[in-house]
Amino acid sequence: MEIMSIITFAVFIFLVFLLHSILKFFSIGIKKLPLPPGTLGWPYIGETFQLYSQNPNVFFASKVKKFGSIFKTHILGCPCVMISSPEAARLVLATKAHLFKPTFPASKMRMLGNQAIFFQQGDYHAKLRKLVLRAFMPESIRNMVSDIDSVAINTLGSWEGRQINTYQEMKTYTFNVALLSIFGKDEVLYREDLKRCYHILEKGYNSMPINLPGTLFHKAMKARKELAQILAKILSVRRQMKQNHTDLLGSFMGDKEGLTDQQIADNIIGAIFAARDTTASVLTWILKFLGENPSVLEAVTNEQDEIIRAKEENNEEKALNWADTKKMPMTSKVIQESLRVASILSFTFREAVEDVEFEGYLIPKGWKVLPLFRNIHHSPENFPEPEKFDPSRFEVSPKPNTFMPFGNGSHACPGNELAKLEILVLIHHLTTKYRWSMMGPRNGIQYGPFPLPQNGLPIKLSRKT
C-alpha cells in the first residue's frame, strides 16, 4: 500500500509538472506574439491631442491607410488597439465577447450608476437586457404611437415661425419621449424636476472628474443624488398604488425580478441618458440631409402624404397608428442612410480581460479595444461612394457586419425600435405640415462628443399653406 501511495504521488507530481509546462509553453507563445503595428505617441498623453485636435475620422482613416485594419495607439491615458474590419468587429462584440468586457471611465460609472446595464456582463447583464427588451419590443411600444404622435405635434408647433437650434430642440423631443417610455403617462408629474437635474448632469458628464464645490463634476454628482431621490418617490408611489405598468419602470419593478431600488435607479437614469442625445443627433442629421437633397425630401413627403390621403379615404382617425409606421419604406431607408453617413456612434470601448491572440497579434490584458464603426460604414468596399447620401443603397441588405449603427452582440442598443419609431413619427408631421430652411454655414461638423452639423443646425420652420 505504501509503495502504491508513493507511485500515485509521483504520478500526480509528474502531471502537475506537465500541465505547468504546457501552460508555460502557451503563455510564452502568446507573449512572443508582436503587438499590432502603430504608434503610441508621448508617455501618458499618447496621441490624444492628434485625435481631438482634428476631425477624429481623419485620424482613424490615416491610421488605417498606414497600418491596416488593426493598429495600436494610446488615447485618453490608455493603450488601445483599434479595428476596422467587419469580421474583427463582430468577433470582439459578439463571437468572442467574453474576452472583451465593456469599459467606461470610473467617473462616468459613478455619474450614471455602477449597476446600470452598460457596465455589466454575464447573468446580471442578460437579466437587465431581457427587462429592457420586454418594455421596448414592438409588441410593447406599438401602444405608444398615439402618445408619441401628440408629443411630436406639440414639439413642432412650438418651433413654428422662429429660428431654432435643431439639436437642442430635438433633445427636448427625445427627452420627453424617453420619459414617456420609462414612466408612462405618470411622467408629466416629474418632468420638470427630471429635466432640471438632467441638464446639470449633462453639463458635468464630460468635465474633469474633480469633485470639489463649484466644479461642474461636483454639481453633476449633486444632481445625480437628487435624481435618485426623485426616483425613490416614484417607486414609493407606484408600490402604494399596486397597479401593473407596461413601461420600463414597470418592467424593472416586477416582483419576480428581485432588483434593488439602487439597481432600478441606476438603470432608469442610464436609460434616459442613452435615449436622448444619440436619437436627437440622428434627427438633426436627417433634417440636414433632407434639406440638401430635394429629390429625397420629395419622395419622403409623397410617401407621408399618401398615408394621410389613405386615412381620409377610409375615414380613419387622423392620429398615426402602428400600422401607419409600417407604410414608410422610403423614410426608413433615409433613416438607415443617415445612420450610416453620420455614424453617431463612431466607435465603442471594450477591454481585454486576458492576453488575447488576435489576427496574429497580441492584445495584452487590460488594453482597450475599439471597433471603429464609422470606418466600417465609410469603407468603399462596403458602401460604394461612401460619402454620398444615397438611401437607395438600402434597397438591398448590406453585407454582413458592415452596418452596425446600434452596435452588435449582447450589448447592442436594446432601444433601437423605440428610436426608429419616434424618428418616423416626427418625420411624418415635419414633412407633411412644414417646410424649413437652414440658416448659416452648412458644411462644418462639430464634436461634443457626437458628430453634429455646425452650431447644432440652425433652421427656421414655417407651416405649409
Residue set of the binding site for heme: 413
Those residues whose C-beta lies under 8 Å from the C-beta of residue 142, and which sit 6 or more positions away, are 322
| Separation CA 118–CA 109 (nearest Å) | 9
Query: What is the layout of strands, in order, in the sheet containing 350-352?
Result: 70-75, 78-83, 368-371, 350-352, 100-102
The amino acid sitting at 201 is L
Known binding residues: 413
Long-range pairs for 312-320: beta carbons < 8 A, 24 or more residues apart:
319/145, 319/146, 319/149, 319/150, 320/145, 320/146, 320/149, 320/425, 320/428
CA 129 to chain centre: 14
| Separation CA 205–CA 403 (nearest Å) | 28
Burial code (b: 16+ CB inside 10 Å, e: under 16) for 145-178 equals: bebbbebbbebbeebeeeebebbebbbebbbbbb
Q: Is 356 helix (H, G, I), strand (E, B) or coil?
A: strand
452: β partners: 446
In this structure, is the dihedral angle defined by the CA atoms of residues 141, 264, 368 and 79, taken in order, positive or negative? positive
Q: For the chain, how far is it from start to end, CA to CA, in angstroms?
A: 103
Q: What phi, psi does 362 have (nearest 5°)?
A: -100, 130
Look-up of cell digits 420629395:
298
Those residues whose C-beta lies under 8 Å from the C-beta of residue 438, and which sit 6 or more positions away, are 288, 291, 457, 458, 459
Those residues whose C-beta lies under 8 Å from the C-beta of residue 1, and which sit 6 or more positions away, are none
| Separation CA 371–CA 100 (nearest Å) | 11
Helix-helix angle 145-159:416-433, to 10 degrees: 50
Look-up of cell digits 460619402:
387
Q: What phi, psi does 434 have (nearest 5°)?
A: -135, 160
| Separation CA 14–CA 284 (nearest Å) | 67
